[in-house]
Structure 1
Amino acid sequence: MWWYLSDLARFKSERLGLDALAANADWLTPLGWRTDDAKRLIFDADITIGIRTYPVFLSYPAHFPNTPPSVYPRGEQTTLWSNHQFGPGGELCLEYRPDNWTSDVTGAMLLESAHRLLFTENPPEGKAERVPSAHEVSLGQSLRTRTFRLLMTRKLADFFAEMQAGEMLKGNMLVHCRPESNVYIIDKVTKSDGEVWINPDVPPTLSSETYERTVPILRIAKDQALPPTSNPADYKTAIAALGFEENASIIVILKGSKAHCFWGAAEYAIQFATIPQEPEVRRLDDSHERLRGMSVAVIGCGSLGSKVATMLARSGVENFYLVDDDLLLPDNLVRHDLDWRDVGTHKVDAVTQRIKNVNPNAKVYVRKVRMAGQEASGSAETAITSLLARDLIINATANPNVHNLVSAVAESAAKPVVWAEVYGGGFGGLIARYRPGVEPSPQLMRRAIENWFAERSYQPKAATKDYATGGEGPPMIADDADVTSIAAATARLAIDTLLSRDPSYFPVPVYVLGLAPEEGLFTQAFETYPIPMPEAPPLEKAMTLSAEEATAEIVEIAKIFDVK
């Protein structure tokens, strides 16, 4: 029910308050009540200041008095009345707003606030004053109605700052089209000597998802005027005088520290909104800088592995090796980090694109092989060799055969391993890590984990269906939030391992994480069980040979290479 029917006492109070204001304020002319198409209550009035009349209406929202009324210009108003207004013809930004509203404020007080604002900025006599702003309009608010937007980045701004007045260069512009906006991004600029400058802030992969066009870029002197956009003919004359071709569609003009983008046609000329470069603000702690020089292998680029890889890329890791032979199919989208743009592609290729889109500096290497599966021995050996060249191996397959293989090769090469799995049903999961010389072998750790569950007479539900080959077995039941929760914990454990934090954020190597009640295991969400492990056993002494025995073996090896 509308507030003015459900709260008749408040309606009476509002009505009498506005009547009293009109009787005592010679600047207010009441014009009566009405409702709009949504049955919101409207009070029309004129505010007179000197010889000028401002036609306004006071609009009561559906949830009044819990949300504030608004004061708007009435009729087809195309001019800006105030610096405290949301665009020409838009709502006036007054003293009482959603951020400071209390239900005892009345509509009459809103009209008084509107009068004070307009009177101060447009007095009938004397000098106009600037009304101090109680808040700053956000970038998002200012661009809500702007469709065409030029995006500046820090490196692009630095490059533009070096251009001299009168210098015109050729840029490559990526056009990122969305239903509500078109964003224009300059990713390359050809210098006067023919050298191409590449914007390092823009992922090279972005060009495959955008349109490209060439755009002239000119720096003008600070005392030169920008072309007018009110008349297309005047616009064409002005850009021709600056040195642009008269039929140039999109141009960029640099003036001072700002970039201005224009689009001209026979019927119109418009200026784009410019999204300024962000100030450089540190968002990660200093230790994350070390991640830039580290490499990670991710085995399994399914729902868990894809999320972990993307999180690590956002955290600063710039070198990845991805191993998976599977394709992304439509049903994977229920919890995968990718979307319909990647359906039908190999997961390693799509995750590569994803990583580079969030971290333009990332280098990603891939192998489309099935670890511990039916593959040529040479392919498997190459994949394993590349695994061992990384600082950390992450096993996101939840496949026991892969776990055994990775555990064996990682232990022999003294490489740390992180592994994780989501339990069927989405009620929880497990994260674990092996660090050479700190934890026992991954095979022993796995046995200890199985014993931990056996002591509780509980066996986690594991998905046995092979999605890639269509093998028999039930699918894993879990939603995106379930997988993301375990992926986030896995990524944090991986970062802790890469940074060798001392003390570690994770004092034990294995955690069973609860996301929902599960009979026999968890009583509630976020219930966590750390599983301690014994210290790593002392390394076995390698078999040694005497000098004579070593020499004899070298002779035998030499015979193998001896060309007959």
Structure 2
Amino acid sequence: MIWWAEQPTRAQAERKAVGDIADRSTWLLNVTWRLAKNLQLAADFDLRIGERTIPLTIIYPDFFPDAPPSVLPRDEVRLSGHQYGASGELCLEHRSDNWTPDITGAMMIESTYRLLSSEEETGQAAPSDHRTLPAQWTRATTLRFLFSRESLTGMSMVEAGQSAEAELQEHNAAGIFVAQLSHIGPADSPIWSEPRKRGGNPHTIRAMVVRVPAGSSRKCRDFDELKTLLGMHGFGTLAVALSNASDWVGIILFDGVSLHVPMVFGESGSRSVINYDPVFTEHDGDRLDPEYERLSGAKVAVVGCGSVGSKVAAQLARSGVGWFVLIDGDALTSGNLVRNELDWRAVGIHKAPALGARLKEISADCAVITRTTVMGGQESGGTIAATMSDIEECDLIIDATADAAVFNLCAAIARRAEKPMCWAQVFGGGAGGIVVRLRPKIDPTPLTARRRIERWYAAQGVEWPNDGSSQPYTETNGGENPLIADDADVSVIASHLSRLVIDLLARRRNTIFPYSAYLIGLAERWIFTAPFDVRPIDLGESDAWHMEPEPSDVDALKQLLGELLPGKADAG
């Protein structure tokens, strides 16, 4: 888009406005209009600031007047503290964060004059009226050292004038090398350990935390400068040891407030330094409800780590759930990537352990047990029993398989152990889905709830479209054609299920959901009149979660033991 060809009147007005300033002022000189690269409209001009003549260029972007022009020094020098980079464009009164289309290039030139003449007069940077985000300062850095209040506390345990051995963990992500302290002190008896280590397989680097006097931590341009700094503050022995070493060593220069991280490398006697830029990683305030603190002690079984189960598990990890049991006998294929939380790195790996690794990347503190058991499949009795025992020990059971046989097993565990159970089903063809939560002695048992839901479906008197897509009351077994639903469809249903789970774990009996089953429509289909048409289902009263013993059970047990253990049943 060539804006000046579409809006020639505005372009001519821009030229006139700049010309008017040149006619009535003594500080704007030598204005020359031209076309820059990509046919961008530009004007070269000089500003007279005191005894100096400063050559500048204003360049109008393709999206002008909806985006601001850029004013840059033609000789690529730093003119002001309000400048992006050593020779980049000036940061003026009119910027992207306060731009309106009625602002002109002439006004930008006037702002440039005010900025530079003010700094020329005072000898100091002009006051700033906007905030630069920390992420903006680190855009150009490829070597970063993460620190937090927690790690600052750890570094503060090293007394002034002392040093302590340490270890760094480093990851390479998207071409950025990110390091963080793993521990301070010997690995077998550290004085401090990072409670929130990054997941994955990090590269470990030997390090030293060096506590220098207040105000003396600074960036070292080379190894000689680092040696001099260490020698000045009583760390001469360390400087010699670093000179004679040949491995990589991270040095954290900490003065109690600020820190710098030179990384020492190279052959013995010929050492070099590269500096890592410190990046503070604490978020600016809590992002979760205080009630979510209860989730850290919760243990959740996710049966089925496919599209729904993987997303729910990831959302629960982000919400603070501390313990997971993940069960899925299937391996991830490339076809699963269209709607699974996992990515290409996990293709060919069983879904449960791959998802377990993913959860550790999201929340390094969470504990994960994984099982590759095929629930309801041809497995040994011992394997099934061990897996069911793991599920029974959880505080909540999630069936994310849409498999009737697996549902029955989960339902049996939930009823016998009196554990809450949640499940979801995504309907085919992008129609929507259903989410259900069942609480012992409040909602009906799982099998009863399923029968009542199916009766509710039938009572609506609306047939499912006969187009081959899976129906809301169809039992799937994994051998049918793949479900037609995209990532957005699945994510909506998974997120609704996660909300039910979090409500159960965090609020317990103070639920925010008046119903325990919800149909969520994503299209005008079946009973849904429009996308996001939500239909609650009243599941009715609870029934018997716990099996009460029959009066004859005691005698029947004695008889059974007598038959299985002849001669011993009466010994006691």
Q: TM-score, normalised by structure 1?
A: 0.90
Structure 2 residue identity aligned to 1:516: A
Structure 2 residue identity aligned to 1:40: Q
1:211 maps onto 2:220 in alignment:
no
1:344 aligned counterpart, secondary structure = coil
Structure 1 residues 270 and 55, CA gap change in structure 2 (3 angstroms): farther
1:509 maps onto 2:516 in alignment:
yes
Counterpart position of 1:334: 338
1: CA distance between counterparts of 2:218 and 2:124?
Answer: 28
Structure 1 residues 279 and 441, CA gap change in structure 2 (3 angstroms): closer
The 8 Å contact of residues 296 and 394 in structure 1, kept in 2 or not, is answered as yes
1:309 aligned counterpart, secondary structure = helix
Alignment partner of 1:220 out of 204, 212, 222: 212
2:85 aligned counterpart, secondary structure = coil
After superposition, the C-alpha distances for 1:417-445 in whole angstroms (9 at most, x for unaligned) are 10111112222111112222112221122
Structure 1 segments unaligned to the other structure (5+ residues) = none
2: CA distance between counterparts of 1:27 and 1:177?
Answer: 51
Pairing 1:369-384 to 2, within 5 Å after superposition: 369-384=373-388
2: CA distance between counterparts of 1:263 and 1:536?
Answer: 64
2: CA distance between counterparts of 1:319 and 1:406?
Answer: 18
Structure 1 residues 263 and 436, CA gap change in structure 2 (3 angstroms): closer
Q: How far off its partner does 1:537 sit?
A: 3.4
2:483 aligned counterpart, secondary structure = coil
Q: How far off its partner does 1:317 sit?
A: 1.1
1:200 maps onto 2:195 in alignment:
yes
1:122 aligned counterpart, secondary structure = helix
Structure 1 residues 315 and 75, CA gap change in structure 2 (3 angstroms): same
Counterpart position of 1:99: 97
Structure 2 residue identity aligned to 1:4: W
Structure 1 residues 24 and 267, CA gap change in structure 2 (3 angstroms): farther
Structure 1 residues 480 and 388, CA gap change in structure 2 (3 angstroms): same
1: CA distance between counterparts of 2:524 and 2:196?
Answer: 45
Question: Percent identity over the alignment?
Answer: 35
The 8 Å contact of residues 404 and 477 in structure 2, kept in 1 or not, is answered as no
The 8 Å contact of residues 168 and 250 in structure 2, kept in 1 or not, is answered as no
Counterpart position of 2:166: 171
Structure 1 residues 336 and 137, CA gap change in structure 2 (3 angstroms): same
Q: How far off its partner does 1:319 sit?
A: 1.2
Structure 1 residues 560 and 133, CA gap change in structure 2 (3 angstroms): farther
2:39 aligned counterpart, secondary structure = coil
1:312 aligned counterpart, secondary structure = helix
1:187 maps onto 2:186 in alignment:
no
Structure 1 residues 173 and 549, CA gap change in structure 2 (3 angstroms): closer
After superposition, the C-alpha distances for 1:207-236 in whole angstroms (9 at most, x for unaligned) are x1x32222232121125363541x665455
**Which range moves more in the overlay, 536-545 or 554-563?**
554-563
Counterpart position of 2:453: 449
2: CA distance between counterparts of 1:181 and 1:446?
Answer: 50
Pairing 1:449-468 to 2, within 5 Å after superposition: 449-455=453-459, 456-459=461-464, 461=470
After superposition, the C-alpha distances for 1:272-298 in whole angstroms (9 at most, x for unaligned) are 221024156222112111111221111
Structure 1 residue identity aligned to 2:83: Q
Alignment partner of 1:400 out of 404, 427, 436: 404
Counterpart position of 1:389: 393
Q: How far off its partner does 1:249 sit?
A: 5.8
The 8 Å contact of residues 227 and 238 in structure 1, kept in 2 or not, is answered as no
Structure 1 residues 152 and 560, CA gap change in structure 2 (3 angstroms): farther
**Which range moves more in the overlay, 530-539 or 105-114?**
530-539
2: CA distance between counterparts of 1:272 and 1:330?
Answer: 37
Counterpart position of 1:432: 436
The 8 Å contact of residues 33 and 44 in structure 2, kept in 1 or not, is answered as yes
Structure 2 residue identity aligned to 1:271: N
Pairing 1:5-24 to 2, within 5 Å after superposition: 5-24=5-24
1: CA distance between counterparts of 2:424 and 2:343?
Answer: 23
1:322 aligned counterpart, secondary structure = strand
Question: How large is the RMSD of aligned CA atoms in angstroms?
Answer: 2.9
Counterpart position of 1:542: 549
Q: How far off its partner does 1:32 sit?
A: 0.9
Q: How far off its partner does 1:372 sit?
A: 1.6
**Which range moves more in the overlay, 174-183 or 378-387?**
174-183
Q: How far off its partner does 1:55 sit?
A: 2.0
The 8 Å contact of residues 33 and 43 in structure 2, kept in 1 or not, is answered as yes
Structure 1 residues 465 and 507, CA gap change in structure 2 (3 angstroms): closer
Structure 2 residue identity aligned to 1:109: M
Counterpart position of 1:88: 86
After superposition, the C-alpha distances for 1:506-554 in whole angstroms (9 at most, x for unaligned) are 2122111111222x32221111111112211367753236999988888
Q: How far off its partner does 1:166 sit?
A: 2.6
Q: How far off its partner does 1:307 sit?
A: 0.9
Alignment partner of 2:536 out of 523, 527, 530: 530
Counterpart position of 1:147: 142
Q: How far off its partner does 1:271 sit?
A: 2.9
1: CA distance between counterparts of 2:547 and 2:210?
Answer: 70
Structure 2 residue identity aligned to 1:330: S
Counterpart position of 1:62: 62
Pairing 1:230-309 to 2, within 5 Å after superposition: 234=225, 237-238=228-229, 242=235, 243-244=238-239, 245-246=242-243, 250-263=250-263, 269-278=273-282, 281-309=285-313
**Which range moves more in the overlay, 393-402 or 154-163?**
154-163
Q: How far off its partner does 1:478 sit?
A: 1.0
Structure 1 residues 432 and 217, CA gap change in structure 2 (3 angstroms): same
1: CA distance between counterparts of 2:456 and 2:476?
Answer: 25
1: CA distance between counterparts of 2:55 and 2:568?
Answer: 98
1: CA distance between counterparts of 2:379 and 2:359?
Answer: 27
Q: How far off its partner does 1:366 sit?
A: 2.0
**Which range moves more in the overlay, 62-71 or 484-493?**
62-71
2: CA distance between counterparts of 1:369 and 1:563?
Answer: 40
After superposition, the C-alpha distances for 1:455-480 in whole angstroms (9 at most, x for unaligned) are 3343471588866xxx4x21111111
Counterpart position of 2:127: 132
The 8 Å contact of residues 153 and 278 in structure 1, kept in 2 or not, is answered as yes
2: CA distance between counterparts of 1:35 and 1:268?
Answer: 46
Structure 1 residues 452 and 338, CA gap change in structure 2 (3 angstroms): same
Counterpart position of 2:505: 498
Structure 1 residues 13 and 484, CA gap change in structure 2 (3 angstroms): same
Structure 2 residue identity aligned to 1:139: P
Q: How far off its partner does 1:28 sit?
A: 1.9
1:272 aligned counterpart, secondary structure = strand
The 8 Å contact of residues 352 and 371 in structure 2, kept in 1 or not, is answered as yes
2: CA distance between counterparts of 1:134 and 1:224?
Answer: 30
1:403 aligned counterpart, secondary structure = helix
After superposition, the C-alpha distances for 1:302-329 in whole angstroms (9 at most, x for unaligned) are 1111111111111121011111111112
Structure 1 residues 465 and 225, CA gap change in structure 2 (3 angstroms): closer
Alignment partner of 1:161 out of 131, 156, 159: 156
Q: How far off its partner does 1:160 sit?
A: 0.8
Q: How far off its partner does 1:142 sit?
A: 1.0
1:38 aligned counterpart, secondary structure = helix
1: CA distance between counterparts of 2:275 and 2:76?
Answer: 23
Structure 1 residues 482 and 250, CA gap change in structure 2 (3 angstroms): same
Q: How far off its partner does 1:413 sit?
A: 2.3
Q: TM-score, normalised by structure 2?
A: 0.88
Structure 1 residues 550 and 481, CA gap change in structure 2 (3 angstroms): closer
2: CA distance between counterparts of 1:313 and 1:294?
Answer: 11
The 8 Å contact of residues 45 and 56 in structure 1, kept in 2 or not, is answered as yes
Q: How far off its partner does 1:255 sit?
A: 2.3
Structure 1 residues 163 and 499, CA gap change in structure 2 (3 angstroms): same
The 8 Å contact of residues 464 and 474 in structure 1, kept in 2 or not, is answered as no
**Which range moves more in the overlay, 543-552 or 257-266?**
543-552
After superposition, the C-alpha distances for 1:47-69 in whole angstroms (9 at most, x for unaligned) are 22222332211111111111111
2:430 aligned counterpart, secondary structure = coil
The 8 Å contact of residues 425 and 461 in structure 1, kept in 2 or not, is answered as yes
Structure 1 residues 48 and 369, CA gap change in structure 2 (3 angstroms): same
Structure 2 residue identity aligned to 1:543: E
**Which range moves more in the overlay, 257-266 or 42-51?**
257-266
The 8 Å contact of residues 250 and 262 in structure 1, kept in 2 or not, is answered as yes
